[in-house]
Structure 1
């Protein structure tokens, strides 16, 4: 295949691969009511940090859960999913329609 045929077949990388806004809005979210690092409702050690912004979760922050069960700050995951419709950890697409 020549270059033009490859572009026609696979695109040039500028296509929006983001998730649908409706799919993003439907993700389950919750506000962390207790300290997520300790106490009875502490998150598992491997889930105590948003792996998009690399910040630890804190009491009062909103956390979204993707279908693959990975969790992120809601603001971080919304921004990420608008341009990349899949989980930044496991690459699972949040929408089955794409």
Structure 2
């Protein structure tokens, strides 16, 4: 490919969205975080892997079909850019794995 063809290809690929639409993201279930009262150990599941912050009681969480959970804001931003789960790489609407 010539330099001009590569530039054109880069512009074409760069303009296509790899994420999900807000309409699709809004179809995912949202719930409120509830603390585990009798748990002495904090598990990794009690931390959003996108922002690395611990969940606080009452915070809204979004659950992907693969059952991984994130803060609503973090998950929404992530899915707007990338349509796959950041943990298992399963596409949210499509089921294909990138592994």
Q: TM-score range by the shorter chain?
A: 0.7 to 0.9
Name the SS of the counterpart of 1:22 in structure 2. helix
Structure 1: segments with no counterpart, 5+ residues: none
CA distance in 2, matches of 1:67, 1:39: 26
Number of positions where the alignment pairs a residue of Structure 1 with one of Structure 2: 91
- Which consecutive segments of 4 or more residues in structure 1 shift more than 6 A? none
Instruction: Look up the match of 1:82.
Output: 80
- 1:70 is aligned to 68
Structure 2, gaps ≥5 residues long: none
Aligned residues: CA RMSD: 2.9
Q: What pairs with 1:1-98 in structure 2 (closer than 5 Å)?
A: 2=1, 4=5, 7=9, 12-32=13-33, 34-35=34-35, 38-39=36-37, 45-96=43-94
Q: Secondary structure at the match of 1:79?
A: helix
Question: What TM-score, normalized by structure 1, do the two folds share?
Answer: 0.75
TM-score (norm 2): 0.74
Which fold has the larger relative contact order, with Cα–Cα distance below 8 Å and residues 6 or more apart in sequence? 1
Structure 1 stretch 85-94 or stretch 48-57: which is displaced more? 85-94
